[in-house]
Structure formats: C-alpha cells, structure tokens
Amino acid sequence: MSKTTNDKVNNASPAPSDFIREMVARHVTEKKYPRIHTRFPPEPNGYLHIGHAKSICLNFGIAREFGGICNLRMDDTNPTKEDVEYVDSIVEDVNWLIAGWADDKLGLKPKGKTPDTIASNGKPDFYLAPTVGQASRLSPSEFEEIGDRRDACPTLEPFYASDYFDQLYEYALQLIKKGKAYVCDLSPEDTDKYRGAPDRPGTDSPFRNRSVEENLDLFTRMKNGEFPDGARTLRSKIDMASPNIWLRDPLLYRIRHAEHHHTGNKWCIYPMYDFAHCLSDYIEGITHSICTLEFEVHRPLYDWILENLDLPRPLPRQYEFAKLIPSYMIVSKRKLISLVNDKVVTGWDDPRMPTISGIRRRGVTAEALRNFAIGVGVTKYISVTDIAVYEHAIREDLNKRALRRLAVLRPIKVVISNYPEDKSEELEATNNPEDAHAGTRKIPFSRILYIERDDFMENPPPKYFRLRPGGEVRLKYAYILRCDEVVKDTTGAIIELRCTADLDSKSGGTTAQRKVKGTIHWVSAAHAVDAEVRLYDRLFTEAEPDKDGRDFKSVLNPKSLEVVTAKCEPSLAGAKPELRYQFERLGYFALDPDSTPGRLVLNRTITLKDTWAKEAKQLGTGPYTSGKTSRTE
C-alpha cells in the first residue's frame, strides 16, 4: 500500500508482451487509429471473478501502456438474467482492482447520457465519448473502507449497451431496408431445425424473402408489442449453408416482454449479443474489442454486421485470447451462482469464492491480484494455471507489506516456574523485517503464556525442532524455554506445560547467543486479546473440480473453513481493515468486515510456506498438521 510498492510494480516491472499487445503496438506505429480504445464489457448477471480480473488487467493494461482509454460497459441485452445488484458489484470490483493503477484510464460517461447523432451522408451515425479519469478520487486504502465508488462520483456511470437500444433499432432498420435482415415467424424449435448442424447445412426459412415493406411493418409491430414472446424474430440474411453456424441467418432481435433493470418497460424487443456488441463497440469508438476464445467463431458475424451497415468511421476489430482457468477453482458464473444459492458458501463475497469480492474479503490486495492476472500471460492456448502461481503472488505481496504479529491459534497453557507471578515486562518486536520503516512495537511478557498446541510434542519424530519434554526452544523476542513437566487431565489430554526460562537469554542477555534449533511464537495469557479467526483453505480438493463433467460439488473441501478463537498480542485490538498482518510462523491475515469494535474477526488469507508440513509428510510420521494448514491433498 506504500507508494514505493506501487511505484515498483507500476514502473519497474517489464511491460508485458503478448500477441495482442504486439498487434496494438503495430497499430500505434501505423497510426491506424487516433487513439487506442478498449473496453471491459461484463454482463451484469453475476459477480466478477478471477477470470474477469485477467480481462480487466488486459484491457486496462493496454490502455495504460498505449496512452488509451478503457470503457467499462454493462453488456445488458438480456433483461431476464440481469440485475442492478450485479451492476453495483461490478463497478465496485473494477474500481477496487484498478485503483492506483489504471483508474486514470477508466472510461465512464455522464449519468443518463446517450449517444450523439452525427449526420453523415443522410445515414445515421452515432458516437458516445467517454469521460476519463474521474473515478480516481479515492486512494486504494480509502476505497477499501468506503467500497462502492459510485457514491464518490455521483455524476458518472458506466456505459450500458442498453443505452443504445434506440440506435441499435435504427441500425436494424437500415439492415432491413438494405434487404439484409428479415422478420422470421419460425418457432424456436423450427429455427433450430432449419439451422442444420455443424456438419450439415441449414435450410432457408420460409419467411426469408419477405418484402422490405413487410419486414419494416412487422419489425415495427414487434417493437410495439403486438406479438407474444417467441412469436417472431429479426434475423440477418446471410447464408444458411455457411460452414460457420453463426453465419446461418443469426437472430438479431427477439421478443421479451420483460422489465429491464436499466431501461424499465420501454422495450419488449431486445437485441442479441452479436448485434449489440459490435455496434456498441462502434458507437463508443472502440478500436480493439478483446474477448475470450469462444467468440472466435463469432468474429465473421461481428465483421459482417459492421461492414453491411456502411459505417463511416474506422471499425473496431475483435481479438480473442484464452481465458484464465486456475486450478482448484471454478470460473463459471452458472456454477458460482449455484454455490451461493445452495448456501455452500455464505455469499458472492465468501472468502473462499474466486470472485473479486471474495478475493478482496479474503485479504488479497488488488496489487497481488493484478500481478497474478498479468503474470499468467496472454495466449490462445487453453490451459489450467497452477494455483501455486496465484498463491505465490499473494505471499510475495503480503510478505512485503504485512505487519508481523504474535497470535496463537490453538492455545496450550505454559507456566514459567522461575518467572515471578507479579512480574511482567515489555519486549521489543520488529513490525516488518522486510521494511525498516515499519518500526517496532512492545509486546507484554509474563509468567503464564499460551503457545501453539502443534509446537509441543511428547514423542516427537526426527527433525522436530520445537518443544518437547526436557527440550528447549526460543520464545520469539524473549527467552529460551525448557519444558520440565507435562500436566494432563484425567483423560490424558495435555492441559498445561511447566517450564523454566533461561532468564539471561533474551536479546542482549549473557546467554542470548546460545543456539537453540527452534523458535516459536507465544502470547502472554494475562494480556491476550481474543479474536475469531477464520481459517480458509481451497474450496475444492481436486485441481479441476468439473473435469470430465464431474459434479463439482462432489469434490468440495470439507475443511475449506475452520473457525478458531485465537489468543492475540494486545496490539491486534487496534487492527485496521486496510492493513495486512502476518501471524508469525502461521500465515497472513486480514480484518473481516464482520468485525465490530468489541469483537475482532480475522480471515486467514493464506498460510506461510510450511516446510515442516512437507517434511512431516515425507517422514510418514502421521498427520502432523502444523496448525498452519488443513489442506486436503
């Protein structure tokens, strides 16, 4: 969150290079367009996820690298699936992700503004200019606290494809007048039959050769609401025998008597994606329309519509790349929505969700997410990205910024027999060894402590460097401790450890230099602050949850969330939502919005790398969960 960190990522990282950027660079050299203009066009029918993060970083990244603009646009042409809740979340998530990085490239528009009509040879030509860089009034940390930035910019809003319904209707009329579109009365079932199959040509619709006048009349009446849903469609007239199915007279408009979240009840006909998207791009002056691979076969249609409208300005072109698929995650809106609806998770922003809001709540910073989304590269090869790459990006980022704190997740009581009962002292501790400017703090020490249950074993395996009967460990920032006696209850469970401290061994003491193999964390019992700590782990136990059509819910990780009451050093009582914490030897943690002044709730973003867990696994010495991970592998 520091300026230096941002600068490093913004300026010191080599500019990404990929086949799309190479193309854009060529176009810049050729001066093909007055400026580079991309767009991020989600449909507001779900929350943005990590796959969208890649698309956002690509589109906004290109804008910032080539001095361009990236419009945020709601691709909202299907009223039955969309909702303002999703619009709001999309705006919030995009703003969070690009804050301090590319928010000065964000193209928005004045609220309520629709395209201007530009006279051109008697034919309609429409253009809607962006307002740029107005959303960057909040710093990333301010943004984390405030959230929805629409409130901060009351006069601006994203672009909406639905704002172009008037213009799209005009364009449809043009196509009809040119004999390139017709109203078809075929039922949905018959439309399917007439379309043929990938290896079998389709057949012409019996309504294909209606007169222009009849088409105009019927289309007007469709618009006026004279026909029920599904009764008629407007179709382009291309080629029912085309080897490309998307050129077999694809539908342009369908009838839907439904209220739209943005246009209300003004329309009962709605444009299809293929018709709306290319023309929305054109209206906004988009130069590079970047989408995922599944739209590759639609590109000839994208071009056909634009080219058959004889548009006067330079046409946008579509480029496709392979979407991001991280292992141990699912990135399908349909499947994510079902996790929410089935209450497998607590909501779209459940910290286990691969949604941007879930990732944010988990404690991952925007910078870390961007570094990952950019680092995976851009190709046309469909692949699964190892989640380890994502986790590495998170650790790399958090290691630099997290404040170190001592906290005990699963406490066991330790009594230091030779430490006076009424004594306590303040020990100095480093806030962040990676950042000298982070300073130090004081931690109270006293006779009764808590240490981690996993940091003591009665009969430890080889290479166990922690506390054992008769053995010694270093208490971080404090004394060397020896375990004298193990106190158990009637069931044999360990309830307390009686220990002796080497009272000359703390920093600066005469025996401070003594070498002890292990160092463990601790918290003074009398001074400890309780916190609810939510230990999150991967949501799935399989790298590809939906591989080969498997039910992804059959491979849910039963241990994806464990809640414990942790004992924390007192300074954690003042934990701040915009800061990140490392509980030493355990992992990275962030304050959850569920926290209240009297009740701390922290989320484990990710564990530290745990070489002991790996070692124990190799030793085959049983389930020595280090307390750092509950991962099922």
Partner RNA sequence: UGUCCGGUGGUGUAAUGGUAGCACAAGGGUCUUUGGAGCCCUUUGUCAUGGUUCGAAUCCAUGCCGGACAGCCA
Buried b (16+ CB within 10 A) or exposed e, 427-451: bebbbbeebeebeebebbbbbebbb
Q: Which two tokens stand for residue 148?
A: 């929805």
**121, 459, 596, 611: which one contacts RNA (CB under 7 A)?**
611
293 binds RNA (CB under 7 A): yes
**28, 43, 544, 594: which one contacts RNA (CB under 7 A)?**
43
**476, 527, 559, 631: which one contacts RNA (CB under 7 A)?**
476
**357, 505, 541, 571: which one contacts RNA (CB under 7 A)?**
505
Which of the ranges 94-102, 109-117, 145-153, 292-300 carries the binding residues for RNA, by CB under 7 A? 292-300
**87, 186, 364, 575: which one contacts RNA (CB under 7 A)?**
186
According to CB under 7 A, which residues from 142 to 161 bind RNA?
A: none
CB distance 205 to 196 below 8 Å: no
240 binds RNA (CB under 7 A): no
Instruction: Determine the Cα–Cα distance for residues 200 and 473; give it in Å rounded to an integer.
Output: 75
230 binds RNA (CB under 7 A): yes
* Listed residue (505, 506, 518) closest to 473, CA to CA: 518
Residue 193, SS3 per DSSP: helix
| Cβ partners under 8 Å of residue 294, min gap 6 | none
389 binds RNA (CB under 7 A): yes
CB distance 586 to 608 below 8 Å: yes
Of 118 and 297, the one with the shorter C-beta distance to RNA is: 297
Backbone angles phi, psi at 132, to 5 degrees: -110, 145
**244, 263, 308, 424: which one contacts RNA (CB under 7 A)?**
244
Helix orientation angle between 387-401 and 366-375, rounded to the nearest 10 degrees = 140
Which of the ranges 4-12, 47-55, 174-182, 476-484 carries the binding residues for RNA, by CB under 7 A? 476-484
449 binds RNA (CB under 7 A): no
69 binds RNA (CB under 7 A): no
According to CB under 7 A, which residues from 70 to 89 bind RNA?
A: 75, 77-78, 81
Q: Which two tokens stand for residue 339?
A: 């996790």
25 binds RNA (CB under 7 A): no
Query: In sequence order, what are the beta bridge partners of 289?
Result: 318
CB distance 196 to 248 below 8 Å: yes
Side-chain half-sphere exposure of 516, counting CA atoms within 13 A: 25
538 binds RNA (CB under 7 A): no
According to CB under 7 A, which residues from 390 to 429 bind RNA?
A: 392, 395-396, 399, 404
According to CB under 7 A, which residues from 355 to 374 bind RNA?
A: none
111 binds RNA (CB under 7 A): no
Instruction: Determine the Cα–Cα distance for residues 375 and 57; give it in Å rounded to an integer.
Output: 10
Of 151 and 381, the one with the shorter C-beta distance to RNA is: 381
Of 172 and 520, the one with the shorter C-beta distance to RNA is: 520
Query: Which conformational region is residue 310 in: left (phi greater than 0), alpha (psi within -120 to 50 degrees), or beta?
Result: left
Instruction: Determine the Cα–Cα distance for residues 145 and 595; give it in Å rounded to an integer.
Output: 13
138 binds RNA (CB under 7 A): no
608 binds RNA (CB under 7 A): yes
**170, 296, 484, 496: which one contacts RNA (CB under 7 A)?**
296
Of 153 and 497, the one with the shorter C-beta distance to RNA is: 497
